[in-house]
Amino acid sequence: MAFLADALKRVKPSATITITQKARDLKAQGKDVISLSVGEPDFDTPDNIKEAAIAAIRRGETKYTPVPGIPQLREAITRKLKRENGLDYKASQTIVGTGGKHVIYNALLATLNPGDEVICVAPYWVSYPEMVALCGGTPTFCEATIQNNFKLQPADLEAAITPKTKWLILNSPSNPSGAAYTHAEMKALTDVLMRHPHVWILTDDMYEHLVYGDFKFVTPAQVEPGLYERTLTMNGVSKSYAMTGWRIGYAAGPQHLINAMDLVQGQQTSGTSAISQWAAVEALDGTQEHIPVFRKAFERRRDLVVSMLNQTRGLKCPTPEGAFYVYPDCSGLIGKTLPNGKKIETDEDLVMGLLENEAVAAVHGSAFGLGPNFRISYATSDEKLEEACRRIQRFCAELR
């Protein structure tokens, strides 16, 4: 009898974590590695949020909390969704989990039966298809190509829907492409979904605040209120508030779905860290003045990276609307030869060559389901980004 669960056969380890570990190993050997593979802001958590956590500890807020979150945070979430997204939810329609990842996982665990399909838009965040598989569902795929600026087209969505489709997972701005949908683009997608009443929408709004220029973020239930009864609006504080280590994510949706997620969470993690929840109350209710500061820095870095990559032999890099990633096309380099004589057959060969020869860590596009591309996170200092792009330019120029 096999010891490990069969479900594990359907799951791949996270490619981003694998690359990050390889980069760490090279660093430990004394190499000057520039890591552009991690998905977290390089900024520190703002002081007002840290102080709220310290005050919570001093008040003795160090015990178990209600499973779906402290009432103060659930109320703060309803205020946030009203203020920023025009969405009306009762506190009982919200749930707080241990990071956005946990919230998505619980939603899938609470709803998927064997054979249920979940549409993932490629390039997708690496965890979606793996979480779907772990929960016993079947991930299906729809491509958002570079020709369409990495945005899902309504006709392709329509074609991907089957009678077995339970969820569409939509992520705007996207990890890994940075693409974000305008109101008109989102409306074209929600129009398709209105024609398919059996399909639910899990919208991952983690990068909501990280959009640049005049871009205006929208979320599906706001654009099409007719979808309210089958939308789970998921968000978190990890990216917008530089709080990745605090592990707070949340979602709002129809009461029966939230109740089911509450049931799952009650037998699993229970409520997440009390201290982190109090910090998140301050993040959502307190001053938002750091957000334009983060945004300005990210926008400057995006422009720097896009410009340098577009001056690199063999690369094409569209300018994304948001998040802190770019996803250059590297098809011009497939078939070339690395300095050690090895032929580059895939984007993974290219990324490994870049790490070994120039000590720059990026993540290959095949991990995100669309390539040949690679993902660069520009959540690091301007100096490091400039140096990394110079190394990428040299590396690409020297391929034969």
Ligand X SMILES: Cc1ncc(COP(=O)(O)O)c(C=O)c1O
Q: Which residues bind ligand X (CB under 6 A)?
A: 39, 99-101, 125, 171, 175, 204, 206, 236, 238, 244, 249
Nearer to ligand X, 197 or 245 (CB): 245
Tell me the residue nearest to ligand X as measured from the CB.
99
Which residue lies nearer to ligand X by CB, 39 or 46? 39
Alpha helices in the chain (DSSP H): 15-28, 47-59, 71-85, 100-111, 127-134, 154-160, 183-194, 220-223, 255-266, 274-285, 290-310, 347-358, 382-398
Least distance in angstroms from the C-beta of 60 to ligand X: 26
- Could you tell me if residue 399 is left (phi over 0), alpha (psi between -120 and 50 degrees) or otherwise beta? beta
Residue 314 in 3-state DSSP?
coil
Structural contact between residues 68 and 90, judged by C-beta atoms closer than 8 angstroms: no
| Smallest gap from residue 179 Cβ to ligand X (A) | 12
- Which is closer to ligand X, CB of 238 or CB of 312? 238
Task: Quote the strand ranges of 106-244, DSSP E.
Answer: 117-122, 138-143, 165-171, 200-204, 231-236
Provide the terminal-to-terminal Cα distance of the chain, rounded to the nearest Å.
51
**Residue with the two structure tokens 């040299």:** 394
Dist CA 126 CA 211 (whole Å) = 21
Which is closer to ligand X, CB of 277 or CB of 312? 277
Q: How far is the CB of 42 from ligand X (least distance, A)?
A: 14
Name the minimum Å distance from CB 13 to ligand X. 15
Query: CA 291, CA 297: separation in Å to the nearest integer?
Result: 10
CB 219 to ligand X: min, Å? 14
Secondary structure class of 33 (helix, strand, coil): coil
Q: Residue 235 CB, nearest distance to ligand X (Å)? A: 9
Smaller CB separation from ligand X, 111 or 240:
240
> Which of 301/375 has CB closer to ligand X?
375
3-state helix, strand, coil in the chain (%, to 5): 45, 15, 40
Contact 313/397 with Cβ under 8 angstroms? yes
Q: How many residues does the chain have?
A: 400
Q: Which residue, 101 or 364, is less far from ligand X as judged by CB?
A: 101
The rounded distance, in Å, linking the Cα atoms of 168 and 201 is 5
Decide whether 85 or 238 has the Cβ nearer to ligand X.
238
* Shortest distance, position 40 Cβ to ligand X, whole Å: 7
Least CB distance to ligand X at residue 165 (A)? 20
